[in-house]
Amino acid sequence: MSPQATIVLASTSPYRASLLRRLLEHFEQASPGTDEAAFPGERPGARAARLAEAKARAVAEIRPGAVVIGSDQVADLDGTVLDKPVTVHAAHKQLAASSGREVIFHTAVCVIDLRGDATTHVDETRVRFRELSAEDIARYVERERPLDCAGSFKCEGLGIALFERIDNEDPTALVGLPLIATSRLLRAAGVVLP
């Protein structure tokens, strides 16, 4: 890869940026402005992959000559997508629905290399929530305000106390960017990593 090549994270998420700093000292961030609405009948993993690539392509169009990283996460509770709750009421409702159940998080990453070729990976994380009382949920939402997180929790914070078990291959995927796959895709794009 050219030493002048820039790496751009197609996201303004502080969570994804914090994760990417584990791999890279220098990168830029850009908002992709992508419509995240689901297509009719679209499966959660396919939606995550499509949106990760759409975000990366949107930023690649305005940042030619850069390696671009796009990512998206879709939470799936028995086929129902749990989007970012936005409101306290919606967060309470999502966590009550997840209580004692398994939620699957499909976290996709797409890297567009300097030739404009896109490669995408989808990581699947299964989270088993413990039984949550209304008081547990109220305390958690009040303390952590997870209104910008799919599934209404922050596993890198107090949200980890809501779980019985997490099953996955990459612990960073649940936060929003699977770093094992990201590092593999970046190396394939010519980015030098340890």
For the segment 25-65, what is each residue's pLDDT rounded down to a tens digit? 999 999 999 998 889 999 999 999 999 999 999 999 999 99
Which carries the bigger pLDDT value, residue 3 or residue 133? Answer: 133
Quote the mean pLDDT of the chain: 94
Instruction: State how beta strands 163-167 and 118-129 pair.
Output: antiparallel
- Mean of the pLDDT values across residues 142-163? 91
Class of domain 6-188: alpha beta
Q: Which of 72, 76, 123, 170 is catalytic?
A: 72
What gap in Å lies between CA 140 and CA 155, rounded to an integer?
12
- 182, 193 contact by CB (below 8 A): no
Domain boundaries, the chain: 6-188
Tens of pLDDT, residues 60-81: 999 999 999 999 999 999 989 9
76 in active site? no
